Amino acid sequence: MQNLLALTLADETPAARQGEGPTFHWKWSWRGLLELIPFETSERSLVLSAGIHGNETAPVEIVDLLLKALFTGDISLRCRVLVVLGNPPALAQNKRYLESDINRMFGGRGAQFPQGDETARALQLENSVREFFATAGPDRWHLDLHTAIRASYHVRFGVMPQRNQPWDESFLGWLGDAGLEALVFHQSPGGTFTHFTCENFGALACTLELGKALPFGQNDLSRFTPTHLALRALLSGNKPEHYSGTVERYRVVQQITRRSEAFQLHMAAHTLNFTPFRHGVVLAQDGDERYEVQKTTEYVLFPNPSVAFGLRAGLMLEKLT
């Protein structure tokens, strides 16, 4: 089953649906879903997901390398893992999604979208995670690997879901050691995969944004070496090497939402993530609705004027001291 990616892209069922690797039992449960349970008892359970957006291929290639290392014995598994390749049909076509964005559907929000394969897939992923965490201890992680549509002042950064409890500083430290240059903290619930696992299962969850979306084979994975090495260490039960870079922290202060055809985003098409805007600048308009910078300085994240009606066309952040 080290060829999970090839099987997933080809929509093929493996000859055997379960078996043993060098240090673990494995079970193929559905297209793009593989559970690995180490022979040694482990307190940690990790959901490692990629490909929720089908054109974000670098993380999928990293997961593929990790699986190959596990099945050849190059990595000895020391934690329970559920590997998720999120949207296989979109991955096969190198498209962000085919009908609707799965990463807006979790936690019952799929009912707001036209029903189809992607809404069904979101429910399938919810059920798979629920089953995986049903036998897990309290040490639960979810790392959802993505790439951004746009280039960014921070090449690698993490987006943290809204959480009622304080974040575990050792988890945030691990994210820094994984090479993330910035962390963005949501202040309100959302339909993302990480918010679903954080809210429902108490998982320490983060969406890792690694570089820019490119087709398979065009990614320079050396840009993500700290993340790759940190994931290898995590799977083997070790601490990653300390990454000496500074980790900036931001929090979301407003969301720009596209509601109609009249929507206009007043940003250049080449605007980078984390571009700063000063107080009073008009960011977007949608009919009579205006979005302006409220703080002294706000930084834009994920600006996208072409999203479907009712979805976010950008987030505005403030930097935390």
- Kindly report the average pLDDT of the chain as a whole number: 94
**Is 4-235 a domain of CATH 2.40.128.130?**
no
E strands, the chain, where? 18-20, 24-30, 33-38, 44-50, 80-85, 139-148, 156-160, 182-185, 204-212, 248-257, 264-265, 276-278, 282-286, 289-292, 297-301, 312-320
What token pair was written down for 10? 């080809």
Q: Where in the chain is CATH 2.40.50.630?
A: 254-320
The length of the chain in residues reads 321
Evaluate if residue 167 carries a pLDDT over 90: yes
- Whole-prediction pTM: 0.94
Question: What's the pLDDT tens digit per position in 44-60?
Answer: 999 999 999 999 999 99
* Residue 25 labeled ligand binder: no
pLDDT band for position 122 (50/70/90)?
very high
187 phi and psi angles, rounded to 5 deg: -110, -5
Query: Which amino acid would we find at residue 94?
Result: N
Using alpha carbons only, give the angle 281, 287, 292 rounded to the nearest 5 degrees: 15
pLDDT of residue 129 exceeding 80:
yes
Is 43 labeled as catalytic in the residue annotation?
A: no
pLDDT at 285 over 80: yes
Token pair recorded at residue 96: 């962000």
Q: What is the pLDDT of residue 298?
A: 98
How much is the average pLDDT of 267-275?
93
The H-or-E segment that residue 264 falls in is: strand 264-265
pLDDT of residue 148: 79
pLDDT in tens, 203-235: 999 999 998 788 888 888 888 899 999 999 999
Percent of the chain with pLDDT over 90: 85
Topology classification of domain 254-320: OB fold (Dihydrolipoamide Acetyltransferase, E2P) (2.40.50)
- Over residues 159-179, the mean pLDDT reads 95
Average pLDDT over residues 102-130: 95
Compute the distance between CA of residue 140 and CA of residue 91 in angstroms, rounded to an integer.
Answer: 27
Bridge partners, residue 65, by sequence: none
| Cα–Cα distances in angstroms (integers) from residue 230 to residues 141, 177, 226, in the given order | 14, 7, 6
Tokens of 82: 């559920």
Q: What is the mean pLDDT of residues 9-18?
A: 93
| Section 161-188 average pLDDT | 95
Binned at pLDDT 50, 70 and 90, residue 245 comes out as confident
Spatial strand order in the sheet of 264-265: 264-265, 282-286, 289-292
- Alpha-carbon separation of residue 4 from 35, 49, 217, 224, 266 (angstroms): 11, 13, 17, 21, 43
The annotation status of 56 as a binding-site residue, yes or no, is yes
Measuring CA to CA, which residue among 151, 190, 194 is closest to residue 175?
A: 194
* pLDDT score at 214: 80
pLDDT score for 117: 95
Residue 321 clears pLDDT 90, i.e. is over it: no
Q: Which residue has the higher pLDDT, 213 or 37?
A: 37
266 has binding-site annotation: no
Q: How far apart are CA 132 and CA 138, in angstroms?
A: 13
Q: Which of 35, 209, 248, 298 is catalytic?
A: 209
Please, where in the chain does CATH 3.40.630.10 lie? Answer: 4-235
pLDDT of the residue at 249: 97
The gap between the terminal CA atoms of the chain, to the nearest Å, is: 46
Across 82-89, average pLDDT: 97
For residue 89, pLDDT beyond 80 = yes
Contact predicate 197/47, CB 8 Å: yes
- What integer pLDDT is reported at residue 219 of this predicted model? 84
Give the mean pLDDT of 67-77: 97
pLDDT of residue 288: 92
